[in-house]
Structure 1
Amino acid sequence: MTATAIVIDMLIGDPRWPTHPVIWIGRLIKRLERLLRRGQETTGGEEPAALRRKGMILAAVTVGCSGAAMWLLVWVCSLLHPWLGYAVNTWFISTTIAIKGLKDAAYLVYRPLTDNRLEEARKYVGYIVGRDTERMDEPEITRAAVETVAENIVDAVVSPLFFALLGGAPLAMAYRATNTLDSMVGYKNDKYLYFGWCSARLDDVLNWLPARLTGVLLTLLAFADPRLSGARAWRAIRTFAHLHPSPNSGIPESAVAGALGVELGGLNYYGGVASDRARMGWPLKELNREHIVMTVRQLYGVGLLLFMGGLLWAQLLG
C-alpha cells in the first residue's frame, strides 16, 4: 500500500477534491479549541495547569477521532469488497504525504529566480515560510526554500509513511492530525504556551525515530551522488543537529546542508524582529537557486528509497 501511495502522490499530489482530510482535521481543531477555550485569547485568567489539561483533551480527541474515523471508513469499505478497502486505504495514505506538493512549492520559488524575478520569488517563498521576505536576496530566498523542503522531508514524507507501514491509513492519519495540531497550536507564545504544550510534545515524540531515519537516508543518498558528500552530511548531523530548537528538524536540515556544502540557519526576521537561528553546515559554497533543485532531488531520492522499502515490506508480510 505504501509503495502505491508514494506513486499516487508523486503523480497526482494533494487532492483538491474532495476536500483534503487535513482541512477537515483543521476545522475539528478550531471547533474544539473554541469549545475548550471559551473565548479565552491568552493565558491570562486561567491557570497553566488547566490550560495544559485542556490542551491534552484537544490532542486526544483530535488524534483519536482522526484515526478512528479513518479505521471505520477502511473497515466498512473492506466489508463491501477487499479491493475497495485496499484502494481507500492506499488513497488516504497518499493524502498524508506531500512529495509532489513540496516539489511544486519549491519550484514556484525556483522558476522566478532563473529569470531574476526576485519580487515574484519573494512572494512565493512567503507562502512556505513565516519569516519576513520583503528584502530577501537570492541566497536568502534559496536558504528559506531549502530549509523548508529539508525540514518537511520528515513531517510530510518519512513520518506518515513510517506510521502507514505500522498501521495503514488510520495510523498515518492519526500522525497527520498530530502534525496539524502542532502547526496550529504548538507555538511558544502567550496564547498557546500551555494550551499547545501537549500537541507540540506529541509531535516531537512521534517524529523522533522518523527524523533519525531521515538522517540516515539522506546520508546514503549523498554517498550515492558524486555531486554531494555523504561523509560531510553525516558529520553535519553529529555537529549541528542538536543546535536546532527542535529535537528533530535539525537532523534533515543539517544533513542537507552538509551534503550540499552550504550553511543553513542564520538571521531571520519575523514582523521586523530579528531572530538568529543556529547555523548548520559549513559555507563551502554560496547558496544559489540550483541548491533548491538539488534539495528537491534529495526529497525524491528519499521517496524512492521508501518506495523500495514499501515493496520489501509487502513481500515480507506476504
Structure 2
Amino acid sequence: MKTLRFAALAALALLGLASPSRAQTAPYHLLHTIPVGGEGGWDYLYVDPAGERLYVSHGTQTEVIDLKTRKLLGAVPNTPGVHGITVVPGAGRGYITCGRANACVVFDVKTLQNLSTIPTGPKPDAILYDQYSQRVFAFSNDGGKSTVLDGASGKVLGTAELGGDVEEPATDGKGHIFVNIEDKSEVIEFDAKTLAVYHRYPLAPGAEPTGLAFDAKNNRLFSACANQKLVVTDSRTGKQVAVLPIGKGADGAAFDPSTGNIVTSNGEGTLTVIHQDSPTKYTVVATIPTARGARTLAQDPQTHHLFTCTADLGAAPPATTDIPRPRPSIVPGTFRVLEFGH
C-alpha cells in the first residue's frame, strides 16, 4: 500500500495536481470590466475595504465605484490633476492629491463633497494613511518633500525632507515608512513620527522605481522599476534579495500574503505575476494580458481582487521641449476599470 500511495502521489506531482505552489499561483483572469466614460487621464486607484468602494483618479475628478454592485456612486469634484487617494478609517474623510493645484483636497466620504484644500509641496503625487501614527503623507514627485497631516483633522503637522522625486510608499505598521525615490533609483526608510530618514537603499540594476509593495511578515520590499526589473530588498538590512524581469511601463505593484504573489501592472498591457517561493527565492509564473495603458494597480485585501484602469488610446502628439515624451491621446468615453481575480 505504501508503494502504491507513493506512486500515486508521484503521478499527481507530475501532473501538477499535488503541488501547493501551483495551486497558490493560478493565473489571474479578467472578472469584470466596469465602464466609467468621460474624459481625462488617470493615475492611482484606491480600495477602501471598510466602505466597499473603489476610488479612481480621473482627470479633474475622482470616480467612486460601489464594489458590491460595480456601479458608479458618483465623483469627488474639483480635484485637478488627481493622483493619489486615501481614506482614514472611522474619520468619515478622505484625502486626494491634486498635482496641478499643488494641494491636497479633503472630502467627506458620505457626500463626496470637498471639505477643505490644503497646500502641499510641488506636484503632490502618491499619498498614504499610516494607521500607526494616524497621519496622512502627501508625497511630492518634485522637490523631495512629503506634507504630513493629522488624519482626523487635516491639520498640517510638518514636512518630511526626503530628497528626490518621490513615488509610491508603503508602511510596516510599526512607525516606519518606505518610499521609492524615482530620480535616484533608491528606496528609503523614514520615521513616521520624527520624519527622520533612517536609510537610503540603492536599487541598481533597477532604475526609476515607481510601484512599491511590502511583505510585512518577511520584511521584503518590492520595487517596480522603469527598466523592466522588480527589485526585492530586505527592509531591515537594505540587502538586495532578488531582481526579476517584469513588463514595460510598470507603475504599480501589489503583494498578496495569502498567495505569496507579487503583481506589477505594466503600461504595455500586462500584469507580471511573481511567486514568493521562499523569502529568498522568487519565480515569474505568469504574464496576464490587460490593456494598453493599464499601468497602475490596487488590491482589495478582503477579496484579493486586483483593479487597474485604462481607456482606448490614439496617437501621441508631437514631442516638444517641455514635453519630450508625450503620452498617447485618449479616446473620450472609453475610460474603464478592469477587475482581475483567481
TM-score, L = length of structure 2: 0.23
**Greater RCO (CA < 8 Å, at least 6 residues apart):** 1
Compute the TM-score of the two structures, normalised by the length of structure 1.
0.24
Instruction: Report which of the two has the higher share of strand.
Output: 2
